[in-house]
Amino acid sequence: MVEARVEVTTSPEEASQQVARLRDLIRRHDHLYYVLDSPEISDGEYDGLLRELRRLEELHPTLITPDSPTQRVSGEPSERFQTVRHPVPLLSLGNVFNDEELEAWERRAMNLIPGEAIDYYCELKYDGLAVALTYENGVLVRGATRGTGVEGEDVTANLRTVRSIPLSVSGPNIPARFEVRGEILFPIDKFGELNREREERGERIYANPRNTAAGSVRQLDPQITAARPLELFVYSLGWAEGDVPETQSATLEWLGGLGFKVNAGNRKAATLAEAMRFYQDALEQRESLNYGTDGVVIKVDSFRIQRLLGVVGREPRWAIAYKYPAEQATTRLVRIGVNVGRTGALNPYAELEPVQVSGVTVKMATLHNEDYIRERDIRIGDVVTVERAGEVIPKILGPVVEARTGSETEFTMPPTCPECSEPVVRREGEAIHRCINPACPAQAYELIRHYVSRPAMDIDGVGESLVKQFLEVGLIHDSADLYTLTVEQLADLERMAEKSAQNAIDAIALSKERPLANVIFALGIRHVGAETARILAERYGDMDALAAATEEQLSDIYTIGSIVADSVYTWFRDEENLRLIAKLHDAGVRMREEIVRAAGDLPWNGQEIVLTGRLAELSRPQAEEIVRSLGGKAGRSVTKNTTLVVAGPEAGSKLEKAQRLETPIIDEDEFLRRVDEAHRQVGINLQ
Ligand code: IVH
């Protein structure tokens, strides 16, 4: 570049032309390198161009513009990020996990638009951080994180350092203002390099590329972000003032033409079967990609039809995430224990050497039943593969046979119930061993323990040991019997002072007023967690109506799958269960919901939420502010008053305490979902 120095005397006009030429050249090579992955010049040649541009800009500072390639890193570190409100909220996606669920999704959509032919557009579902970029007159003016979808953080200075994001775009008919949305990713190979360097320097290792991408974007100092090799894949147009294409496929093609990085593997599909093939192909290629994906996204291609289908809550009916199977890890199975469930089922479970799966430490896993263990030839002492999907309990897929040493032992089901010592039976055609002793304390005990627990009927003062005593002395046989107890009966019990007897009776009486959702949850129906119970209560508002619901009606509820629907339906067809409902009804337990919301009442009133671990999408103060704005309290430590714990990666003692206290624990995604839902309840209009 020595010859360039000769031109020190360049006139301003010549300099201006040369600067423009150099910028165009650098932009072209940036695009070739960062967007198309096909560089045409060496790094040395590229650096020479950039050096020359810098030199000219130093000589003629008036020529510097914010979209010059020399200006990617600019500005001082900030104290905190400004909150920005998204003009059009960023939506979420519903999930499906298999072809049947995908077909059900299509059926639901088709029913709404009879006679319309749907073309799909298939994309990868990137596992990174969602951002929104605003361009005004072709220049990038703002970059924001997704945040809650309604509000995010202004990370413009940081996103400007991402080389696959054009600082300006040009071409015919570009809308005066528009917003592009996409996902910031950390390339997997670079992630490995970064961790190796950190390890050598004795620094903390990062957990995964996704959180590292999020962490890199949310650095207060853009210099740090600039040093991270982030990439952006663009997947939609948020909004635009001006003419834009009428389909998703044409939109992405247009955005690709403007210089944005759009996945070349995106494909149109004329039928759902084609979309399923796209999924299979993507799944096969997943490991060969240098960035994280956790499924594919299938979108209705036509915006006209998208508008017809609309949005439910925060999830569009016109798009769905078809997720890959859950993440797996291997660890040693130390012991197999057996629990007696609420229905008398003997449930074997594995105690594991703790292992991290999808950012969560797993110590236990379900083994379902004896056949499951036999079929997979799982032995005590084996190294096993563990899988965790969403929030469900982890399961063991099978042993790593090559890792066997010969000291592993086979498991056999105990012939008698570990609780009541009566013989267990395995009925014809059933995989489950059951204790059929109706007086087995374990069964009733598990059910009643669940009934009185905090997330269910919250009967303070009736703890596990009291439930055990009631059962042992025959005072109660089921949950409804709790309401027949008297102070005198309780005071007769060992170690029971009259005062505590009175407290327990008061607490039992008080529980009759618990919301319907809690009553439904308290019944202990398989697969009906607190969230599902809430949805059922909201939908039916009445126990009798729920009991009468058909399986089809139940599975029509958007978030309820066929397994849950089947479980609920079957539960209400059992004589014993109906008798229990009748007894609860006679005792005065709420069976119907009258939703009365006092003015100023907020959805999270009375909730005490503790945030722990690292959050990807939100800053801690932002999350706490959201909790407070919805009427909740943001607690600093986990106590028995804590109603919910939001745990991110690297959560430590608070998470352990929450597990000990059996406080409900959710992750950040679930938290954001609940925030969305609460916003809807208080009438924040999102669309
Ligand atoms: S479309 C329809 N397309 O998934 C509205 N999202 O659960 C959703 N994501 O926060 C946006 N890859 O960050 C869309 N090809 C893709 C995507 C994608 C990843 C993320 C996105 C969003 C989340 C929605």
pLDDT (0 to 100) of residue 558: 55
User: Residue 68's closest CA among 82, 54, 55?
Assistant: 54
Q: Report whether residue 93 contacts ligand 1, using a CB cutoff of 6 Å.
A: yes
Mean pLDDT, residues 7-29 taken together: 87
Residue 188 vs residues 223, 358, 399, 449: alpha-carbon distances, Å: 21, 16, 28, 46
Mean pLDDT, residues 483-489 taken together: 92
pLDDT band at 686 (very low <50, low <70, confident <90, very high): very low
Mean pLDDT, residues 269-281 taken together: 97
Q: Report whether residue 183 contacts ligand 1, using a CB cutoff of 6 Å.
A: yes
What are the E-state strand segments in 46-128?
83-85, 94-96, 120-126
Give distance in angstroms: CA of 297 to centre of ligand 1.
7
Mean pLDDT, residues 332-348 taken together: 89
Indicate the top mutation candidate among 88, 121, 126, 233 to test ligand 1's pocket, ranked by most ligand atoms within 8 A of CB.
126
| Residues near 601 by beta carbon (within 8 Å), at least 6 away in sequence | 631
d(CA 69, CA 27): 7
Side by side, which strands form the sheet with 231-241?
A: 139-145, 129-136, 177-185, 231-241
Give distance in angstroms: CA of 282 to centre of ligand 1.
16
Q: What percent of the chain has pLDDT over 70?
A: 94
d(CA 642, CA 606): 10
Instruction: Give the pLDDT confidence of 362-419 residue by residue, as tens digits.
Output: 888 889 899 999 999 999 999 999 987 644 568 899 999 999 999 999 999 999 999 8
pLDDT band at 7 (very low <50, low <70, confident <90, very high): very low
Q: Report whether residue 316 contacts ligand 1, using a CB cutoff of 6 Å.
A: yes
pLDDT at 357 exceeding the cut of 80: no
pLDDT band at 682 (very low <50, low <70, confident <90, very high): low
pLDDT at 225 exceeding the cut of 50: yes
d(CA 353, CA 383): 10
Give distance in angstroms: CA of 179 to centre of ligand 1.
15
- DSSP one-letter string for 17-55: HHHHHHHHHHHHHHIIIIISS---S-HHHHHHHHHHHHH
d(CA 256, CA 248): 12
Residue 413 CA, distance from chain mean position: 36
Which range (4-18, 87-101, 559-573) has the least confidence? 4-18
pLDDT at 495 exceeding the cut of 60: yes
Q: What percent of the chain has pLDDT over 90?
A: 54
Nearest ligand 1 atom to alpha carbon 316: 2
DSSP letter for 247, please: B
Residue 651 vs residues 387, 618, 646: alpha-carbon distances, Å: 20, 16, 9
Give distance in angstroms: CA of 428 to centre of ligand 1.
47
What are the E-state strand segments in 98-244?
120-126, 129-136, 139-145, 151-153, 177-185, 231-241
Q: Report whether residue 297 contacts ligand 1, using a CB cutoff of 6 Å.
A: yes
pLDDT (0 to 100) of residue 684: 44
d(CA 667, CA 653): 16
Handedness of CA 65, 67, 68, 72 (dihedral sign): positive
d(CA 568, CA 556): 13
pLDDT (0 to 100) of residue 594: 59
Q: Report whether residue 91 contacts ligand 1, using a CB cutoff of 6 Å.
A: yes
Nearest ligand 1 atom to alpha carbon 123: 15
Nearest residue (CA) to ligand 1, atom 10: 130
Instruction: Give the pLDDT confidence of 459-470 residue by residue, as tens digits.
Output: 988 988 889 888
Nearest residue (CA) to ligand 1, atom 3: 235
pLDDT (0 to 100) of residue 600: 57
The torsion of the CA quartet 54, 56, 62, 68, rounded to 10 degrees, works out to: -40
Give distance in angstroms: CA of 296 to centre of ligand 1.
9
Q: Round the average pLDDT of the chain to a whole number and report it.
A: 88
pLDDT (0 to 100) of residue 9: 63
Q: Report whether residue 46 contacts ligand 1, using a CB cutoff of 6 Å.
A: no
Give distance in angstroms: CA of 167 to centre of ligand 1.
23
Nearest ligand 1 atom to alpha carbon 128: 13
Q: Report whether residue 232 contacts ligand 1, using a CB cutoff of 6 Å.
A: no
DSSP letter for 377, please: T
d(CA 209, CA 292): 7
Instruction: Give the pLDDT confidence of 178-221 residue by residue, as tens digits.
Output: 999 999 999 989 988 998 898 888 887 786 788 889 999 998 89
Greater confidence (466 vs 677) lies with: 466
d(CA 165, CA 69): 11
- Number of other CB atoms surrounding residue 480 within 10 Å: 20
Q: What is the pTM of this model?
A: 0.56
Nearest ligand 1 atom to alpha carbon 263: 15
Q: Report whether residue 123 contacts ligand 1, using a CB cutoff of 6 Å.
A: yes
Burial class of residue 36 (count of CB atoms within 10 Å of its CB; 0-12, 13-18, 19+): middle
SS3 341: coil
Q: Report whether residue 146 contacts ligand 1, using a CB cutoff of 6 Å.
A: yes
* Catalytic annotation, residues: 125
| Residues near 463 by beta carbon (within 8 Å), at least 6 away in sequence | 452
pLDDT at 6 exceeding the cut of 80: no
Q: Report whether residue 470 contacts ligand 1, using a CB cutoff of 6 Å.
A: no
Indicate the top mutation candidate among 88, 185, 233, 235 to test ligand 1's pocket, ranked by most ligand atoms within 8 A of CB.
235
Mean pLDDT, residues 280-295 taken together: 91
The torsion of the CA quartet 595, 601, 607, 608, rounded to 10 degrees, works out to: 180
Asked whether the beta carbons of 289 and 231 are under 8 A apart, the reply is no
d(CA 289, CA 282): 10
Q: Report whether residue 319 contacts ligand 1, using a CB cutoff of 6 Å.
A: yes
Query: Both tokens of residue 589?
Result: 């337990």
